[in-house]
Structure 1
Amino acid sequence: MNNKTIFFLIGFMGSGKSLLGKKVAQLMDVTFMEMDELIEKEAGCEIKDIFKHDGEAYFRSIERKILDDIIDKASEAKDTIIVSTGGGAPCFNDNLQRMKENGVVVYIRPSEDILLSRLVNGMDHRPLLRGKTENELRTYIRDTLTIREPYYKGGDWIFNPVFKSKTSNILFLKKLIQRQINSI
């Protein structure tokens, strides 16, 4: 079953998936789900602690369970749901295919410079970035995007948040999602 009222926001960490998703969901009065928050709730600890104590493989198994739970819940509810995924979610297992089979996948794609400016201040909260210098972070972003972007581009839409105003980007994404819902 393909439910075109589930919108999975994918993209690199710091791309704005959570902010855009939450704001669009509020404007549309629809459900917003943050996969990372659901993973932390399921695991009973923060993501950084999952990586530290249990490793990435365990994290990815919980991530997949949460994805399946979201899809199950959405298929029962039939309501519009906007889901912010983790940056690696579409790149592991067959998660991207599962998302595409069950909703619309939107790649949020800001420039590398925007990603760097957003991530340089929040590295302590992101286990894959901890301890990197700004130059190392820039290299990490570029190298990781090289690996992940083929997955990201496998989504249904690419959304480049090019407006200077966050509000303009939010309103534009809302318009795209509303147009998709209306076409069902």
Structure 2
Amino acid sequence: MKPIFFIGFMGVGKTTIGKRLGGVLDLPVIDMDQYIERIEKKAIKDIFLQHGESYFRDLETKVLFELQSEEAIITTGGGVVEKKANRDFLKQNDSVFHLTCTFDALWERLEGDENRPLVLNNSKDKLLGLFERRFPLYEEGSSVTIHTDHKSVDNVVQAIVPYIKS
């Protein structure tokens, strides 16, 4: 079995949905950001501060390719689609789920989150611009889009399971 990937903007629920689906399917869950933090021995926000976004994006690519043989659910960071190589890699996989919701719902979840460098360093309008710019990139790299607006975690998981079983 190939890994199941979750992609989407920060705050859409990739980690939460991934953990619940992992429980349902009895699969391990690998959060790429946490994986990178373990390798680098520092928080994502510190990697951004000390080395910059480009360095971090290169780490993401390396880790994405490292994890391709894992029988696991892999939750990616929101910017994994910034690199074309990553989108091309993801598109080759059958189980890449783009989780999405409205920007207003996202903003409610993200506002004031001090652990997300892009939230700390940008206004609401700039984040909206980033959200709108990345949306087609998520679509390009995914096989299925799932809307999480006004849905419980279990409802989202129930929407995903048939794609995995088939």
TM-score normalised by length of structure 2: 0.90
Amino acid of the structure 1 residue aligned with 2:126: Y
Pairing of 1:26-105 with structure 2 (within 5 A): 26-71=23-68, 73-74=69-70, 79=71, 81-105=72-96
Amino acid of the structure 1 residue aligned with 2:56: F
Asked if 1 retains the 8 angstrom alpha-carbon contact of 2:22 and 2:28, the reply is yes
Alignment deviations for residues 108-133 of structure 1 (CA, whole Å, 9 cap, x no partner): 011111101100142x111111155x
Q: Which residue of structure 2 lines up, in the alignment, with residue 16 of structure 1?
A: 13
Distance 2:40 2:94 in 1: 26
Q: CA RMSD in A?
A: 1.7
Asked if 1 retains the 8 angstrom alpha-carbon contact of 2:12 and 2:148, the reply is no
The count of residues paired between Structure 1 and Structure 2 equals 165
Asked if 2 retains the 8 angstrom alpha-carbon contact of 1:8 and 1:105, the reply is yes
Which secondary structure state, in structure 2, belongs to the residue aligned with residue 8 of structure 1? strand
Q: Which residue of structure 2 lines up, in the alignment, with residue 110 of structure 1?
A: 101
* Structure 1 residues not aligned, in runs of 5+: none
Amino acid of the structure 2 residue aligned with 1:159: I
1:146 positional shift: 2.0
Asked if 2 retains the 8 angstrom alpha-carbon contact of 1:162 and 1:169, the reply is no
Amino acid of the structure 2 residue aligned with 1:95: N
Q: Which residue of structure 2 lines up, in the alignment, with residue 176 of structure 1?
A: 163
Amino acid of the structure 1 residue aligned with 2:97: V
1:162 positional shift: 3.8
Residue 146 of structure 2 corresponds to residue 159 of structure 1: yes
1:93 positional shift: 4.0
Which secondary structure state, in structure 2, belongs to the residue aligned with residue 128 of structure 1? helix
* Structure 2 residues not aligned, in runs of 5+: none
Distance 1:142 1:109 in 2: 13
| 4, 13, 27: which one aligns with 1:7 | 4
Distance 1:17 1:118 in 2: 13
Which secondary structure state, in structure 1, belongs to the residue aligned with residue 119 of structure 2? coil
TM-score normalised by length of structure 1: 0.82
1:153 positional shift: 1.2
Moved over 6 A (4+): none
